[in-house]
Amino acid sequence: MIGTTISHYKIIEKLGEGGRSVVYKAVDMRLERTVALKVLSEKLHKNQKARLRFLREAQAVAQLDHPNICTVYETDQAEGLIFIVMACVEGQSLTRKLEIGPLEVNEVVDISLQTAHGLLAAHKNHIIHRDIKDGNIMINTEGVVKILDFGLAKLLTKEDITRPRAVLGTVPFMSPEQAVGKPVDIRTDIWSLGVVMYRMLTGVHPFKGRNVSEMIKSILDDQPARIGGFRSDMPEPLEACIQKMLSKGRQMRHENMGEVIKDLQRVKPS
Q: Catalytic site residue 149?
A: no
Q: How far apart are CA 247 and CA 243, in angstroms?
A: 6
Q: How confident is the model at residue 10 (pLDDT cuts 50, 70, 90)?
A: very high
Q: Quote the pLDDT of residue 127.
A: 87
- Number of residues in the chain: 270
Q: How far apart are CA 12 and CA 190, in angstroms?
A: 36
Write down the catalytic residue from 65, 76, 110, 131. 131
Task: Say if 5-87 and 91-265 have the same CATH topology.
Answer: no
- Residue that wins the pLDDT comparison between 157 and 96: 96
pLDDT digits (tens, 9 = 90+) for 66-92: 999 998 888 888 887 888 898 999 999
CATH class, 91-265 region: mainly alpha
What is the DSSP code string of 144-170? -EEE---TT-EETTS---SPTT---S-
Q: Quote the pLDDT of residue 39.
A: 86
Q: Quote the pLDDT of residue 270.
A: 53
| CATH topology (fold) of 5-87 | Phosphorylase Kinase; domain 1 (3.30.200)
Whole-model pTM: value is 0.87
Mean pLDDT of the chain: 87
pLDDT digits (tens, 9 = 90+) for 173-194: 999 999 998 989 999 999 999 9
Q: What is the mean pLDDT of residues 23-49?
A: 85
Q: Quote the pLDDT of residue 265.
A: 95
Q: Where are the domains of the chain?
A: 5-87, 91-265
Listed in sequence order, the DSSP H helices in 90-185 are 94-97, 105-124, 176-179
